[in-house]
């Protein structure tokens, strides 16, 4: 199978991008797929969520994007505690990448170049993205072949969809014609009220995105939030909370079940040839 390179995208924060990237990646790895997670967010949430302490990392995505000759992906990649699950970690200097690359050559193709040699080693490269439409995001959209839109099943999230679709169109036209939106996942789905259900119905009828919508919704569930502080470590007197992917944290939770169902659909896409 050719490596699938999927970016999990939404310029809005707090909609479940990181939870989805990490959960999907970890479950794919558990099922024997070779997975590389790329933490494309300076907030380092993916790095933390798979139990890697950013303070203990020597080189990160930032160095690899700034100085690709010296820092190939192999120098930056770390193994997680989980079989088949590797990580290109973020550290907080990634906040500076937009500025530092502003006048650099090939500034929007840095991540693509970085990932190229990784492609033959992995079945899936999953890229988490920042809550912004920045140069870093453009690098991510340029490196990816597929986009999964992560949308909180809430009316305020629905509004940002148009902006996101426009950005994707621009990237397609100008730098990455092969890019395709192949998935939209509704997250933080509140089964206790009608609100999420109504948003789901809207998306189902929305010609811009209805064909990409996954059947599985990710229900709102506190276990997912708890899994992000499964472990606590001290670093130079400061507590650092590290997470465990949901399938390892509580495999019987609704969250774990929902993400397993989503992964079933994602793997089915391989068979359908998309």
Ligand X SMILES: Nc1ncnc2c1ncn2[C@@H]1O[C@H](COP(=O)(O)OP(=O)(O)O)[C@@H](O)[C@H]1O
Q: How far is CA 271 from CA 20, 53, 264, in A?
A: 22, 36, 11
Element (H, E) at 112: helix 110-115
Residue 71 or 87: which CB sits closer to ligand X?
87
Q: How many helices (H) and strands (E) does the chain have?
A: 13, 10
Under the binding rule (CB under 5 A), the answer on residue 12 touching Mg ion is: no
What is the closest distance, in whole angstroms, from the C-beta atom of residue 212 to ligand X in the complex?
18
Q: Tell me which of Mg ion, ligand X, none is bound by residue 14, counting a contact when its beta carbon lies within the kind-specific cut-off of 5 to 8 angstroms.
A: ligand X
45/219 with CB nearer Mg ion: 45
Could you tell me if 73 and 253 are in contact, meaning their C-beta atoms sit under 8 angstroms apart?
Answer: no
Contacts with ligand X by CB under 6 A lie at 13-19, 45, 131, 187-188, 218, 220-221, 224-225, 228
State which of residues 4, 12, 17, 77 lies at the interface with Mg ion (CB under 5 A): 17
Q: Smallest gap, in angstroms, from Cβ of residue 222 to ligand X?
A: 6
- For ligand X, the closer CB: 48 or 101: 48
Task: Yes or no: say if 26 and 246 are a contact pair by the CB < 8 Å rule.
Answer: yes
Looking at the Cβ atoms of 71 and 149, the one nearer to Mg ion is 149
- Residue 228 touches which of Mg ion, ligand X, none (Cβ within 5-8 Å per kind): ligand X
Q: How far is the CB of 30 from ligand X (least distance, A)?
A: 19
Residue 72 bridge partners (DSSP): none
* 264's tokens: 């079933």
Axis crossing angle, helix 161-174 with helix 135-143, rounded to the nearest 10 = 60
Tokens at residue 81, please? 């505690």
Reference 169, options 181, 185, 152; nearest CA is 181
Distance between CA atoms of residues 255 and 261, nearest Å: 10
| Min dist. Cβ of residue 130 to ligand X (A) | 9
In the list Mg ion, ligand X, none, the entry touching 187 (Cβ below 5 to 8 angstroms by class) is ligand X
Could you tell me how many residues of this chain bind Mg ion (CB under 5 A)? 3
Q: What residues from 27 to 86 belong to the interface with Mg ion (CB under 5 A)?
A: 45
Contact footprint for Mg ion (CB under 5 A): 17-18, 45
């Amino acid at each position: 199978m050719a490596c699938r390179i999927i970016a999990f995208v939404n310029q809005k924060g707090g909609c479940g991008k990181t939870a989805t990237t990490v959960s999907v990646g970890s479950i794919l790895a558990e099922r024997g797929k070779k997975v590389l997670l790329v933490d494309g967010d300076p907030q380092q949430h993916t790095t933390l969520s798979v139990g890697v302490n950013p303070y203990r990392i020597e080189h990160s995505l930032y160095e690899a994007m700034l100085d690709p000759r010296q820092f190939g992906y192999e120098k930056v990649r770390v193994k997680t505690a989980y079989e088949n699950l590797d990580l290109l970690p973020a550290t907080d200097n990634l906040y500076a990448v937009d500025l530092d690359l502003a006048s650099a050559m090939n500034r929007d193709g840095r991540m693509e170049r970085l990932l190229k040699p990784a492609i033959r080693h992995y079945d899936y490269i999953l890229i988490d993205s920042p809550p912004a439409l920045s140069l870093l995001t453009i690098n991510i959209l340029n490196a990816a072949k597929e986009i999964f839109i992560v949308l909180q099943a809430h009316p305020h999230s629905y509004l940002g969809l148009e902006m996101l679709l426009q950005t994707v169109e621009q990237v397609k036209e100008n730098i990455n014609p092969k890019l395709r939106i192949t998935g939209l996942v509704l997250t933080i789905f509140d089964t206790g009220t009608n609100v999420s259900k109504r948003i789901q119905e809207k998306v189902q009828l929305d010609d811009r995105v209805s064909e990409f919508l996954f059947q599985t919704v990710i229900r709102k569930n506190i276990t997912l939030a708890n899994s992000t502080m499964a472990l606590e470590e001290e670093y130079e007197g400061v507590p650092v909370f590290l997470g465990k992917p949901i399938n390892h944290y509580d495999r019987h939770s609704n969250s774990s079940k929902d993400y397993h169902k989503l992964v079933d659909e994602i793997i089915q896409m391989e068979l359908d040839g998309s």
